A and B are shown apart, each in its own frame.
Chain A
Amino acid sequence: MKKNKLFRNDEEKTALLFLLPAILLIFILIVYPFIYSIYLSLTKSTVGRPGIFVGLSNFIDLSKNPLFRQVLFNSVVYTVFSVVIKLVIGLLVAVLIKNIVGRWSKFIRGTVLLPWVVPSSLSAIAWWWMFNPQFSVFNWVIEKILPFSNGIPWLSKSHWAMFSVILVNIWRGVPFYSISFLAGLVSIEEELYEAASTEGANGIQKFFHISLPLLKPVLAVVLLFSTLMTISEFNTIYIITQGGPMNSTHLLSTFALQEGIRTGNLSRGAAISLFLFPILFIASYFQIRVVRQGVRK
C-alpha cells in the first residue's frame, strides 16, 4: 500500500521517532503497571512493605471469600442487565430517529447524546438526589398517585439499589448505543427496504430481516466495548451507593478501591482488579477480529 518511493531512506527512523512517545507512555504507564499488578497479586504486600511471594493464594482466598463472590455476582448482574437493556433501547431509539426524519432531527440527535456528553461523575450526583430517601422526586410522584404508599426504597434495599444503579447506567449508556446504531442504519441502502416493501414486508419484518443482520458488525463492536466499560464502571457506584447497602452494589472497581487503597492491602486489591483481565482479554480478542475483518473489506 505504501509504495511511495519518493520518501527518503530515513523514513523508518522518522517513523520510530514519531512513535516513540506513544510507545514510552504505553510501556511506562500501562504495560509496566500491569505487570507490577500481577506481581503484587502474587505476593503479600501492604503499603510501605515489600512483598513476600505467595503464589496464587490471594486468588484462592478471594474465590473462597463470600463477600468477593457477592461482588463478582453483582458485577455480572449489573453488566448483563445494563448491556441487554441498553442494546434493546438503543436499537429502538435508533430506529425511531431514523423513521422520523423531521426538521429537528439535528435537535433530537443533540439531545439524545447529552447523557453521554456530561460526565457520569457529574450527572450521577443528580441521580443520587433523585433517589434521596426523603425527597426523591420519583417517590413524590408515586405518593401522589398512590397516596398510601411509602414510595420506593431506591438506595436502602439491596435489590432496589442494584436496580437504581442499573437504571443510571442505562440512562448514561443508551446514547452511545443509539448513535452508533443510527450510523449503521443510515449506511444501509434504501433500495433493500424498498424491495422488501414491494414484496409486502412490514416494518417489523424489515427490521429483523434487513436492519439487524446488516448491523451485526456494529452490534458486535458496541456490545464488546460496552461490556468492558460497564463491568469496570466506577463513577456512578462511587457516588450513588458507595457499594452499599450491605455491599449489594459493590463492583470489582469499587471493591478493589476499598480493599487495595482504603484498607491498604495492595495485593488483595490488585488481585481483585485482575479479575477484570479475562473479560478484557476476551473482549480484545473479538474486537481485534472484528476490526481486522473490517480492514480486509
Chain B
Amino acid sequence: MKNKHKYILIILLIIFLFWTIFPFYWMFITSVKADAELYNHESNPFLVKNFTWEHFDYLFKNTSFLIWFKNSLIICIGVTIITLIISFLAGYSLSRLKLRGSTFWGLLIFIAYLVPPSLLFIPLAQVVDTLKLTDSLFALIMTYPTFTVPFTTWMLMSYFSTIPYELEESALIDGANRAQILFKIMIPVSLPGITTVGIFSFTLSWGEMMYAVIFINSTVKKTLPVGIIGELVHGDVFWWGSLMAAALLASVPLVIIYSFFTDLYVSGLTKGAVKG
C-alpha cells in the first residue's frame, strides 16, 4: 500500500517535470531542425531527422544578435555593480548602524520593492526624455536599479542581521576604522549574500523588457529580449528556427550562472519571498 502511494507520487512528479522542461526542449529541437522538416506537417515534430546549425549561423551572420548580446552584458554588468554598491551600503547602514528613523527608511525601501515597473514606465519615460537619454544604454543602466536595489537591499539587510556583532566589535577594539571593518570583515563574511544579490540583479536585468521596449529605438542599442522579438520576426513565416536559436542562446548565461549557484539562488528566492 505504502509503495503504491509512492509510485503515484513519482508519476505525478514526472509529469510535472516533463511539463516544466518541455518548452526548453521545444526551443532546442526547433533551433536545430532544417526548415523543410520544421514546416512539414507529415514529419514527427518531436524528433529531428536533418540536424542543422543553419539557424544559429543565420543569427550570427545576418542579424545583430551579437550586438544585442553585448548590450545586454554591458547593461547587466553595469546595473549589477551599481546595485551591489548601493544596496551593500544601504543594507549595512540599516541593519548595523544606529540611525534615527531607520524603521521608516526600511519601510520605504520595502514599499519601493513592491512597486511594479508597469506603474512607473510612463513618468520614467518622461524623466529619461528630459535627461536626453532616450535610445541610449544609459537609460536602462539608470532605471534598472529601481527594481534591483530595493529587493537586494532588503535581502542584504536580512543577511547582515545573521552576522554576529562581536566580529565588528573585536575589530574596533583592535583599532580598525569603518572602512577596514567593511573591507576586511563585512565583505568577506557576507560574500554568499553579496553573490546571491549579484545573481538576482543580473538575472532581473537580463530579462527586463518593458523599459527596454519603451526607451530604446535603434536596432544596435537593443537588449536581447527586445532585439529578438522586435527584429527577428519579419514578413514571411519561416523565421522560427532562428527565433528559437536566439531565445535558447540568450538563456544560456543565466542557466550557467544558476547551475553553479543553485543553492544560493534557492536560499535567496525563499528569503526574498518569506522574509520580504
Contacts and interface: CB of A to CB of B under 8 A. Distances in A.
Interface stretch (A63-71, A154-162, A188-196, A227-235): A227-235
B119 A280 contact: yes
A246 to B, nearest CB: 21
B123 interface: yes
B174 to A, nearest CB: 11
Contacts of A221: 273-274, 276
A238 B225 CA distance: 11
A257 B214 contact: yes
Contacts of A115: 20, 23
Nearest to B89: A18
Interface stretch (A1-9, A52-60, A79-87): A1-9
A42 to B, nearest CB: 13
Contacts of B258: 113, 117
Contacts of B173: 6
A113 B124 contact: no
B114 A126 contact: no
Contact of A114 (B21, B92, B96, B150): B21
B262 A106 contact: yes
A291 B276 contact: yes
Interface in B151-195: 153, 165, 168-169, 172-173, 178
Contacts of B27: 125-126
Contact of A137 (B26, B94, B143, B149): B26
A225 interface: yes
A15 B20 contact: no
A183 to B, nearest CB: 4
Contact of A26 (B12, B127, B150, B270): B150
Interface string A102-118: 00001011111111111
Contacts of A180: 269-270, 273-274
Contacts of B213: 238, 257
B240 A126 contact: no
Interface residues of B, number: 102
Interface residues of A, number: 98
Interface in A28-82: 29-30, 32-34, 36-37, 40
Contacts of A21: 85-86, 89-90
Interface stretch (B49-57, B59-67, B246-254): B246-254
A12 B98 contact: yes
Contacts of B254: 117-119
A130 to B, nearest CB: 6
Contacts of A117: 203, 254-255, 258, 265
A296 B3 CA distance: 43
A252 interface: yes
Contacts of A132: 240
A37 B258 CA distance: 37
A22 B114 contact: no
A171 B23 contact: yes
A91 interface: no
B121 interface: yes
A170 B17 CA distance: 14
B94 A129 contact: no
A200 B206 CA distance: 51
B105 A234 contact: no
A36 B130 CA distance: 13
Interface string A124-144: 011101101011010010000
Given A117-B258, A283-B114, A218 B107 contact: no
B229 A37 contact: no
A92 B41 CA distance: 37
Contact of B93 (A15, A122, A175): A15
A33 B124 contact: yes
A127 B24 CA distance: 10
Contacts of A126: 23-24, 26-27, 244, 247
Contacts of B210: 234-235, 238, 253, 257
8 contacts: A2-B98, A6-B169, A15-B98, A121-B229, A137-B46, A232-B119, A238-B213, A261-B214
Ranked 9 nearest A-B pairs via Cβ: A119-B207, A121-B225, A253-B118, A232-B116, A22-B90, A33-B123, A15-B97, A18-B93, A15-B99
Given A100-B9, A125-B247, A180-B269, 6 more contacts: A11-B98, A99-B6, A122-B250, A234-B118, A235-B210, A256-B122
